[in-house]
Structure 1
Amino acid sequence: MTEHHVINPLSIGVDYASLAARFRPTFQRIAEGAPEREHTRTLPHAPIQWLKEAGFGAVRVPVEYGGGGASLPQLFALLIELAEADSNVPQALRGHFAFAEDRLNAAPGAGRDLWFKRFVDGEIVGCAWTEIGSVAIGDVVTQVTPNGDQWTLNGEKFYSTGSIFADWIDVYAQRSDTGGDVIAATRARQPGVVHSDDWDGFGQRTTGSGTSRFTDAVVEAENVIDFATRFKYQTAFYQLVLLASLAGIGRAALKDVAHHVRSRKRIYSHGNAAHVSQDAQIQQVVGEVAALVYAAEASALKAAEPAQRAYLARFGADEAAEREANVAAEIESATAQVVVSELIQRATSELFNALGASDVRQGKGLDRHWRNARTVSSHNPVIYKARIVGDWVINGTEPPFVWQIGNGPAKS
């Protein structure tokens, strides 16, 4: 009998109904506590632990390694469902899924296998890339320094989303010896790493997007990864997580407005029916919100398709096809960003036209949908993405695959 060895299995997708059914009880459990966590600003440590125990962090790992084998459109469909339960949670896992995607794109070998095992065992990764303060655009102050058989990491990051929940942190740093840009994957639970929950945005308040400080934190040599090898559709990937978060916010808002309209007893003398649920104008408002959410979700899922093609092309030995897929992933995610951001902000504001003054009370928590949508939409400024798409459509100018933020030159 001939033994079959799988050389490089890929995650090409599985039956979505079965995959989603595996996680929906956990999503429902997360949803039940979401309004209270929002009201008290309680970080979702328990929900993320439930997801780890359910194997959610390994959903993109190939089936042959014990993972879920999901395609990228399936991953983002799951993140939409999770965001409907609590939009903070998929954003908190954004860094994890991006790092996992990078390992999926890495060359087959023992190192990649080890990361797959960690993901399957429930370990998750946070993100720490952005430095704030007096840092010029393009500069990286955080450094890794050779120290015998290991490296040491020193620096400070903000917007370190999800790191406070994580086992590992994906840190963007610079080598002190060569000046090269690297990813330093460092263990999150060690004396040299301090997490601060100091994110004070008015939305997405429990994503753990605060400060991470590294003081002689230890990094194993094999976890200092040349940034030049980073997967090429990474910017599109990060944006797709935000699109999924927005679509999920829309679904949650639609569910809430339908519930409040059905249960509302008070009517206006100048309304159109004896019950709000039978008022044609109220029905129209809810129908319009439903249409906005539908369009946003459809756009988000459509935009994920070229990212999957880029992943498969990575191993297809056709550089032209791979580059084409990477460009499509960036352009389509940016195009969707422009419209989905507007659709969900409109939906989460419009829903109040179906309700009354009592529904703006803080106890109802309906404002969280708009606040969260507005906050998610502020990432990766829409105006620049619209220009990039326009430049591509008009002139065929390829989009930037990596961009940075920092201080500009001093004003004269």
Structure 2
Amino acid sequence: MTAVAADRIESAAQAYSVAAQLATEFGQEAAARDRDRRLPVAEVDRLAASGLLAISVPAAFGGADVPPSAVAEVVRLLAVADPSIAQIPHSHFVYLNLLRLAGTADQQTRYFGRVLAGARIANAQSERGGATVADIATTVRPVGSRFRIDGVKFYCTGSLFADLLAVLTRLDDPEERSGLPAGEYIAYLPADTPGVRIVDDWNGIGQRTTGSGTVAFDEVIVEREQLIARSAAVHAPTGYGAYAQLLHAAIDAGIARGALTAATEFVRTSSRPWFESGVARAIDDPLLIQRFGELSVAVTAAEATLTAAGAAVDAAVDSDSATTPADLAARASLAVAAAKVLADRAANEVSAALFEVGGTRSAAADLNLHHFWRNARTHTLHDPIRWKYQHIGRAVLHDNPPPLHGVI
């Protein structure tokens, strides 16, 4: 991909306005893009050109420096319209945050500058074959004064649209020739680096146009300045995991709102009342009114909890706070865990209930209303909410803070 020329956004309010405008545009063809698996190349170009992808760049480097809560709201607005487009920049924002927390001044100048100019970052993180998702087989090895990356990554969301890849690697240097400490490193490298192969093979039932395919690395050579150790961000009370999870919750809350909006429009315009209801319009059926009230409460609760979680993450990344970083990070992770639970519930419940309230007509394949449920069911598989309950429960009963591993 070639970075597009990007506008500059200067405030959260401006970001919301631009996101709402783009969401209106993107929503018009979202169901058709999903049905035909038509990749949103032009739409992602528009997103990059709008300046929204640079809103979290620190002010010292020329960005709007909006807080995590504002980034989450932008993501939520986009997800209401098209959850696939909303998910594409998730890793982009996460790895900008890693750069902020753990990059050198030279690395920050270089990569923040590229993003301000319109560049897009995608992840190459997850792998298959390990005992758990936390096992990383992709290695970075010293080769003379440089390094070599070898491995295969899966579920690389946004890779088809990326200018830069953020590659999670494990340092393989038993003789300590590199002088680097052992651990995991993120390599920031151009997507067209020799030895990189991006494969369009994502075939999930939902989020079908996220470009979440396979990326292979075969003797990919990188410089030392392209590597950033994860430990400073992930294994310290930085709010790194809470920030990433907040954006996932925003996607789910957006899906829930989008599904409720679609259900409302369908029942208003296309549904017939059940004959026993004694009413002429479906929207006057008291049982449907009751159900819509229940669904609206689920969505509103998810959105309200997302807002509260955003405020907690903002506090965790605010270095001027008087509260200890460990306490703030723990509060943020627990608040986001609660938001993730409610957003997961709402997205799956409302997207399934769309057919319950819409009736048989809503199941027509050409309408593709099931893309809301498929998107919710697929995206909510990222981080199981059963473990969110565990961390919340341990904090309540034992005063145990959540762990520092980047996924809570």
TM-score using structure 2 length: 0.89
**Offset, 1:295:** 1.1
- The range that moved more, 264-273 or 110-119, is 264-273
- Whether 1:353 and 2:372 are equivalent positions in the alignment is no
Query: Given that residues 73 and 305 in structure 1 are in contact (C-alpha distance below 8 angstroms), is that contact kept between their aligned partners in structure 2?
Result: yes
Does the 8 Å CA contact 1:285/1:351 hold for their aligned counterparts? no
Q: SS of the counterpart of 2:142?
A: strand
- In the other structure, the counterpart of 2:46 is 50
Deviates more, 1:81-90 or 1:368-377: 368-377
Aligned to 2:276: 270
| 3-state SS of 1:157 partner | strand
Structure 2 equivalent of residue 284 of structure 1:
290
Please provide the CA RMSD for this pair: 2.3
- Confirm or deny that 1:91 pairs with 2:87: yes
Q: 1:399-410 to 2 correspondence within 5 Å?
A: 399-402=402-405
Which residue is equivalent to 1:329? 332
Query: What is the aligned partner in structure 1 of residue 37 from structure 2?
Result: 41
After superposition, give the CA deviation of every residue in 1:62-114 in whole Å (9 maximum; x if it has no partner): 34543233211111111110001110122221110001112232467333122
Contact 1:186–1:220 (Cα < 8 Å) also in 2: no
CA distance in 1, matches of 2:321, 2:148: 36
1:27 and 2:23 correspond? yes
Moved more, 205-214 or 16-25: 16-25
Counterpart position of 1:299: 305
Letter of the aligned partner of 1:300 in structure 2? Answer: L
Residue 10 of structure 1: aligned partner: none
Partner of 2:368: 365
Residue 264 and residue 138 in structure 1: after superposition, are their counterparts in 2 closer, same or farther (change >3 A)?
A: closer
Tell me which amino acid in the other structure corresponds to 2:284: Q
SS at match of 2:324: helix
Say if 2:110 is the partner of 1:110. Answer: no
**Paired amino acid for 1:342:** R
1:324 partner SS: helix
Shift of 1:123: 0.7
Equivalences, count: 389
SS at match of 2:156: coil
> How far apart are the structure 2 equivalents of 1:62 and 1:214?
31
Query: What secondary structure is seen at the aligned counterpart in 2 of 1:270?
Result: helix
Alpha-carbon distance between aligned partners in 1 of 2:137 and 2:375, rounded to the nearest angstrom = 31
The yes-or-no answer on 1:261 pairing with 2:281 is no
| Matches of 2:220 and 2:187, distance apart in 1 | 10
In structure 1, the partner of 2:384 is 381
| Equivalent residue, structure 2, for 1:144 | 140
Alignment match of 1:223 (pick from 226, 235, 238): 226
Candidates 190, 194, 201, aligned match of 1:198: 201
Measure the CA separation in 1 of the matches of 2:275 and 2:338. 44
Partners of 1:84 and 1:334 in 2: how far apart?
21
- Secondary structure (helix, strand or coil) at the match of 2:165 reads strand
Contact 2:197–2:217 (Cα < 8 Å) also in 1: yes
1:3 counterpart residue number? none
Distance 2:76 2:149 in 1: 35
Letter aligned with residue 351 of structure 2: T
Letter in 1 for 2:112: F
**Separation in 2, partners of 1:342, 1:272:** 32
Amino acid at match of 1:142: T
Counterpart of 1:40 in structure 2: which amino acid? Answer: D
2:76 counterpart of 1:80: yes
Partner residue of 1:252? 258
Quote the residue 1:8 is aligned against. Answer: none
In 1: Cα distance, 2:133 partner to 2:19 partner: 41
CA contact (8 A) 2:273 2:285 kept: no
CA apart distance, 1:183? 1.1
2:97 aligns with 101
Q: SS of the counterpart of 2:305?
A: helix
Aligned to 1:408: none
Q: Which moved more, 1:331-340 or 1:388-397?
A: 331-340
For residues 265 and 391 of structure 1, do their structure 2 counterparts lie closer, same or farther at Cα, with a shift above 3 Å needed? closer
Unpaired segments ≥5 residues, structure 1: 1-12, 405-412
What residue number does 2:5 align with? none
Look up the equivalent residue of 2:296 and give its one-letter code: A
What fraction of aligned residue pairs are identical, expressed as a percent?
30
What SS class does the counterpart of residue 159 from structure 1 fall into?
A: strand
- The answer to whether the Cα contact below 8 Å between 1:106 and 1:112 also exists between their aligned partners in 2 is no
Partner of 1:7 in structure 2? Answer: none
Q: Tell me the SS of whatever aligns to 1:152.
A: strand
CA 1:32 to 1:64, structure 2 compared with 1: closer, same or farther past 3 Å?
A: farther
Contact in 2 for aligned 1:289/1:351 (Cα 8 Å): no
TM-score by length of 1: 0.88
1:134 to partner: Cα distance: 4.7
1:113-124 to structure 2, matched below 5 A, reads: 113-124=109-120
Q: Which runs of 5+ in 2 are unaligned?
A: 1-8, 177-181
Deviation at 1:360, TM superposition (A): 0.8
Partner of 1:395: 398
- The alpha-carbon distance between structure 1 residues 271 and 69, as it changes in their structure 2 partners (threshold 3 A), is same
2:186 aligned to which of 176, 183, 186:
183
Q: How much has 1:121 moved relative to structure 2?
A: 0.5
Distance 1:197 1:215 in 2: 17
Q: Secondary structure of the equivalent of 2:42? A: helix
2:6 is aligned to none
